[in-house]
A and B are shown apart, each in its own frame.
Chain A
């Protein structure tokens, strides 16, 4: 029971918060097909904004949250503007360079950000309910976003940019919007992260975290939001249950992913969403099969 309680709090305080950051990658990579290799840097943007406002200016959560989301969106705009004009694989390198540059910058402006030592004593504003509430809100938002006109345009761009443009989709504008949106979502995750851990240093937001998110999104199925969420929970919880060292954890992740890439290239769930319709259809199929088996028995 104690183990269960511990795991539950770990799930909420660590896995769920990092998952909010991952959802930014989902919007960018899963829906629009742009590789962001520096998405964790946006989480750092949100985190540092919230931490400094709360620590030095004593702002409450109700003010730091919008401030960090705004900063995330602003940085998304700044990075997105050059990135959407370049070729698609250059997005990867621009975001990658941005991530590395931001971490270097944070480490070197020690008077403000605490440098490599990090910031401590950040007010703890969050509790489990706030985190779950935020996660549910964001998932609902992305769920509806995916089904909206914009979301469909994103998926069209991902499948074929040229075809999408010839259908009258303003590719650069949609891409920029997605960049801003992904930045804002990841920054929100960063804000909740600092107010939960009350401690912040730049090493948590490097390339490793960003590529881990890409792995999670891919693992769950690249188009499937529920798949990504599922992958985020499983890949987040397994190492805590089995108590691996960090290196061993990554080795096992990598083996899993390589296996999936080779033998199930569309990811665990593929493009299937586990919404009510799929579940109902699955139940329908199952009951149909049971009926068929029964009917065969009756004939015998």
Chain B
């Protein structure tokens, strides 16, 4: 019994990482109506930036999180400027968004790889006690911290979206671009803000992945794939759907890893996703977003 509770805990904390990635992804999808495949690239860049910070000045976890988040936000603003800004004005062709964001992701990832490939880096241990034993179940302190910060940042995001002026503009933009700009909203500013927020979330996810395991430039690709999967399962462009799908995918992956081994788990995850998409193509949230594809 304890074993399964243990798996549950691990699954939820894996899901938390996916959730932070997927929420940022869904946010951008809801306003651009297209997936930003450069998300993983931003994540890698800011995770390495955080790692450098701990190496050079010995920063502690909160400082690393804050600075990486700022850095990730700025990187994502750069991504918007380079790979989406002109396209948003000129073209509606879905292929271009696709190629542009994939290339941007590869670019960011390989710029990091140019400098850091070959050696694996990791964050120093931030926690005095790494594991807690509570009633026969072992908790990884890093996981718990991560879960809390993920919850707090998602709650903060939801509050911003619900209560503030910027949040309302973001939601309005996701419904109708033309009407929003007629209401006197500076569309470009709102798009950039959204990219900044999504980048900051990606950076937090990147730091967590680094704290839990090790850093490698290739993790950008891996988590881009995961983020996309979660968003599709959740229903593209839906925040709550993405949240639930992230936890679901985290659990499925953890249980599959326990059942058939880490090597074959991707095969199981793929089959799970395929069956899910055939049974419920609109995703968990169920809103059928008509995107540009």
Known contacts A255-B107, A265-B90, A265-B91, A90 near B277 by CB under 8 Å: yes
CB under 8 Å from chain A, chain B span 61-106: 82-83, 86-87, 90-91, 93-96, 98-100, 102-104, 106
In the assembled complex, B12 has its CB within 8 A of some CB on chain A: no
Among listed A18-26, A63-71, A94-102, A121-129, interface-contacting one: A94-102
A72 to B114, CA, bound (A): 35
- Residues of B with C-beta under 8 A to A104: 263-267
Are A87 and B114 closer than 8 Å at their CB atoms?
A: no
> Of A101, A222, A251, which contacts B107 at CB under 8 A?
A251
A254 to B114, CA, bound (A): 14
Known contacts A87-B281, A93-B228, A261-B83, A247 near B117 by CB under 8 Å: yes
A47 to B114, CA, bound (A): 30
CB under 8 Å from chain A, chain B span 234-293: 236, 261, 263-267, 269-271, 273-274, 277-278, 281, 291, 293
- Interface residue range, chain A: 35 or more
A93 to B277, CA, bound (A): 10
Which residue from chain A places its CB closest to the CB of B278 in the assembled complex? A82
In the assembled complex, B232 has its CB within 8 A of some CB on chain A: yes
- Residues of A with C-beta under 8 A to B263: 104, 107-108
Are B99 and A214 closer than 8 Å at their CB atoms?
A: yes
In the assembled complex, A105 has its CB within 8 A of some CB on chain B: yes
Are A82 and B274 closer than 8 Å at their CB atoms?
A: yes
> Of A29, A93, A248, which contacts B114 at CB under 8 A?
A248
In the assembled complex, A257 has its CB within 8 A of some CB on chain B: yes
Are A222 and B95 closer than 8 Å at their CB atoms?
A: yes
- Residues of A with C-beta under 8 A to B228: 92-93, 96
> Of B100, B264, B273, which contacts A105 at CB under 8 A?
B264
- Residues of A with C-beta under 8 A to B266: 100-101, 104
> Of B99, B264, B277, which contacts A86 at CB under 8 A?
B277
A96 to B87, CA, bound (A): 25
Known contacts A104-B266, A105-B264, A214-B102, A97 near B273 by CB under 8 Å: yes
A114 to B90, CA, bound (A): 49
Distance between A300 CB and nearest chain B CB, rounded to angstroms: 43
In the assembled complex, B203 has its CB within 8 A of some CB on chain A: no
In the assembled complex, B111 has its CB within 8 A of some CB on chain A: yes
> Of A85, A93, A250, which contacts B278 at CB under 8 A?
A85
- Residues of B with C-beta under 8 A to A261: 83, 87, 96, 99-100, 103
Interface centre among A35, A89, A214, A248, by most chain B C-beta atoms within 10 angstroms, is: A89
Are B103 and A93 closer than 8 Å at their CB atoms?
A: no
Which residue from chain B places its CB closest to the CB of A251 in the assembled complex? B110
A-B contact count (CB 8 A): 118
- Residues of B with C-beta under 8 A to A258: 82-83, 100, 103-104, 107
CB under 8 Å from chain A, chain B span 154-204: none
CB under 8 Å from chain B, chain A span 222-256: 222, 245, 247-248, 250-251, 253-255
- Residues of B with C-beta under 8 A to A291: none
In the assembled complex, B148 has its CB within 8 A of some CB on chain A: no
Known contacts A208-B221, A262-B86, A108 near B293 by CB under 8 Å: no
Which residue from chain B places its CB closest to the CB of A219 in the assembled complex? B99
Are A101 and B106 closer than 8 Å at their CB atoms?
A: no
> Of B82, B102, B265, which contacts A211 at CB under 8 A?
B102
A227 to B156, CA, bound (A): 49
Distance between A77 CB and nearest chain B CB, rounded to angstroms: 15
Known contacts A35-B98, A86-B277, A108-B264, A265 near B221 by CB under 8 Å: no
User: 8 more A-B contacts (CB under 8 A) besides A101-B266, A218-B99?
Assistant: A92-B228, A94-B274, A104-B263, A247-B110, A248-B110, A257-B103, A258-B83, A265-B91
State the B residues within 8 Å of A (CB): 35, 82-83, 86-87, 90-91, 93-96, 98-100, 102-104, 106-107, 110-111, 113-114, 117, 221, 225, 228-229, 232, 236, 261, 263-267, 269-271, 273-274, 277-278, 281, 291, 293
Q: List 9 A-B contacts (CB under 8 A).
A: A89-B293, A97-B274, A100-B225, A101-B266, A211-B102, A218-B95, A251-B114, A261-B103, A262-B87
